[in-house]
Amino acid sequence: MSIKSVVIVCLVAMIPFAVSGQTIKPGRIWKDNRGIHINAHGGCVISHGGKYYWYGEHKSDDTSSAMVGVTCYSSENLVDWTYEGVALPVSDEAGHDIERGCILERPKVVYNEATRRFVMWFHLELKGRGYADARYGVAVSDSPVGPFRFIRSGRVNPGLWPMDMSQADRDVADALDLGKYTEWWTPAWRDAIVKGLFVKRDMRAHDGLPAGQMARDMTIYVDSDGRAYHIYSSEDNLTIQVAELTDDYTAHTGKYVRVAPGDMNEAPAIFKKDGKYWMITSGCTGWDPNEARMFSADNIWGPWLQHPNPCVGPKAEKTFGGQGTYVLHVGNSYIFMADVWRPEYPSDARYIWLPIEFDKGSPVIRWKTEWAPGNM
Ligand code: DGJ
């Protein structure tokens, strides 16, 4: 290839970013076209029809509960965002799954090429029940900006064992007596968790909760072959699970595996680079930041191998004060998106977006006070 062709190829690869001289300033107020701080937390960004769409939780000034719904913004350069409104509004119907005042977190939207529909998944807790229900919610729309139509909420794959537990593993889990493990954090309790104590507990309805695996912090990943996966914090936030979705992306197929059983990971964000899957998670410390964790796998079903924290720079041991939510893959670039939570003033939560660099193939997230997506 001539030098001229190389230059042209590089310029074309950068087109999505090259149109703006504007910069991203992690952790600072980020104003939309109306001059208002963007209100789309725990979210994701998709690229569709030449535009980017950013979806996230609308946060109120004084509560982290969902009083409005999932907001949507659009952009052509990832820096300047236009408010597109509420893509999935909460309901005013008493007892509705997404009744105003429920907890609706970490919405993720994917486009299904076959149905030509946008499918939104999110973590849902029914109104007035704290975090007890641990459900997924799903909604669909014909347009990227909505309105999304709520379809269903529930727990994952009721009655089914994960694929990565053999018949022998299932027999061991089946023999565990939940009543013997009332005290948490003992070595025996942890061993039982790893062996599937809570997997087995949640396969059937119990304590007024429906059958199925718990699903809290989550993301959706569409693989290069078009298959989609729901990746979520399960088993009382002790274990990540990866569950395959149906062709239309609106339900689970029944196939799922466990990742890092008993290790307490949440906030999963996943991407693939050169055939390798990477997953960045956090520990479980509520709204407080903690050290990011990273895993890789050659197959989405595992095995997943843990690596050191990919963050580098001030407060790297606290994910720069944030908690991951998504990795945006555009062209040859990957952007790590995180939230800096402000539980005492939720709408003032901030965003940390940083480019992912690769050192000998391994992701590195280096702190930057300001950067231009055009200069990645
Ligand atoms: C951490 C999670 O990542 C957030 O989405 C939220 O659920 C908070 N915990 C609640 O404490």
Q: Give the helix, strand, coil percentages of the chain, each rounded to 5.
A: 15, 40, 45
**Residue 12's pLDDT band (cuts 50, 70, 90):** very low
Does residue 17 belong to any structural domain of this protein?
yes
Nearest to 228 by CA among 209, 247, 206: 247
Residue nearest atom 3 of ligand 1, based on CA coordinates: 267
Does residue 331 belong to any structural domain of this protein?
yes
Whether the pLDDT of residue 365 is over 70: the answer is yes
- With a 6 Å cutoff on the Cβ, whether 346 touches ligand 1 is no
The CA-atom distances, in angstroms, between 25 and each of 9, 211, 241, 367 are 28, 44, 33, 11
CATH number at residue 21: 2.115.10.20
Does residue 60 belong to any structural domain of this protein?
no
- With a 6 Å cutoff on the Cβ, whether 319 touches ligand 1 is no
Whether the pLDDT of residue 255 is over 90: the answer is yes
Which of 106, 280, 337, 339 to mutate to test ligand 1, by most ligand atoms within 8 A of the CB atom? 106
Residue nearest atom 11 of ligand 1, based on CA coordinates: 286
**Residue 285's pLDDT band (cuts 50, 70, 90):** very high
How many angstroms does the Cα of residue 170 sit away from the middle of ligand 1? 31
Mean pLDDT, residues 192-215 taken together: 98
- % of the chain surpassing 90 pLDDT: 93
First to last CA, the chain: 23
- With a 6 Å cutoff on the Cβ, whether 268 touches ligand 1 is no
**Residue 21's pLDDT band (cuts 50, 70, 90):** low
Question: Can you tell me the distance from the alpha carbon of 23 to that of 375, in angstroms, rounded to the nearest whole number?
Answer: 10
Alpha helices in 225-346 (DSSP H): none
Q: pTM of the full predicted structure?
A: 0.94
Q: How many independent structural domains does the chain possess?
A: 1
Mean pLDDT, residues 242-264 taken together: 98
Q: Which residue has the tokens 């939230």?
A: 339
How many angstroms does the Cα of residue 131 sit away from the middle of ligand 1? 10
- With a 6 Å cutoff on the Cβ, whether 106 touches ligand 1 is yes
Q: Is the peptide bond preceding residue 147 cis, with omega within 30 degrees of 0?
A: yes
Mean pLDDT, residues 95-118 taken together: 98
Whether the pLDDT of residue 17 is over 70: the answer is no
Whether the pLDDT of residue 114 is over 90: the answer is yes
Does residue 42 belong to any structural domain of this protein?
no
The CA-atom distances, in angstroms, between 236 and each of 60, 196, 239, 275, 358 are 26, 12, 8, 31, 33
- With a 6 Å cutoff on the Cβ, whether 355 touches ligand 1 is no
- % of the chain surpassing 70 pLDDT: 94
Q: Assess contact for 253 and 311: CB atoms under 8 A.
A: no
Name residues whose C-beta falls within 8 Å of residue 300's C-beta, 6 or more positions apart in sequence. Answer: 221, 223, 229, 242, 277
Which of 41, 123, 133, 217 to mutate to test ligand 1, by most ligand atoms within 8 A of the CB atom? 217
Mean pLDDT, residues 155-159 taken together: 98
Residue nearest atom 1 of ligand 1, based on CA coordinates: 286
Q: Which residue has the tokens 């994960």?
A: 162
Mean pLDDT, residues 164-177 taken together: 98
Q: Assess contact for 19 and 367: CB atoms under 8 A.
A: no
Mean pLDDT, residues 151-168 taken together: 98
Ligand 1 nearest-atom number relative to CA 267: 3
- Domain range for 298: 1-30+265-376
Does residue 123 belong to any structural domain of this protein?
no
- With a 6 Å cutoff on the Cβ, whether 266 touches ligand 1 is yes
Provide the 10 A C-beta neighbour count for residue 142. Answer: 12
Mean pLDDT, residues 323-343 taken together: 97
Name residues whose C-beta falls within 8 Å of residue 9's C-beta, 6 or more positions apart in sequence. Answer: 1
**Residue 20's pLDDT band (cuts 50, 70, 90):** very low
Whether the pLDDT of residue 18 is over 90: the answer is no
The whole-number pLDDT of residue 376 equals 61
Give the strands of the sheet with 218-222, arranged side by side: 218-222, 228-234, 239-245, 252-259
- With a 6 Å cutoff on the Cβ, whether 130 touches ligand 1 is no
The whole-number pLDDT of residue 182 equals 95
How many angstroms does the Cα of residue 10 sit away from the middle of ligand 1? 39
Provide the 10 A C-beta neighbour count for residue 144. Answer: 20
Task: Name the least confident of 16-25, 32-41, 221-230, 305-314.
Answer: 16-25
**Residue 10's pLDDT band (cuts 50, 70, 90):** very low
Question: Can you tell me the distance from the alpha carbon of 27 to that of 352, in angstroms, rounded to the nearest whole number?
Answer: 5
The whole-number pLDDT of residue 374 equals 78
Does residue 315 belong to any structural domain of this protein?
yes
The whole-number pLDDT of residue 277 equals 98
Does residue 354 belong to any structural domain of this protein?
yes
DSSP state of 249: S
Whether the pLDDT of residue 92 is over 80: the answer is yes
Does residue 58 belong to any structural domain of this protein?
no
Q: Assess contact for 253 and 246: CB atoms under 8 A.
A: yes
How many angstroms does the Cα of residue 318 sit away from the middle of ligand 1? 15
Q: Is 17 left (phi over 0), alpha (psi -120 to 50) or beta?
A: alpha
Ligand 1 nearest-atom number relative to CA 282: 3
**Residue 247's pLDDT band (cuts 50, 70, 90):** very high
The whole-number pLDDT of residue 375 equals 62
Provide the 10 A C-beta neighbour count for residue 197. Answer: 22
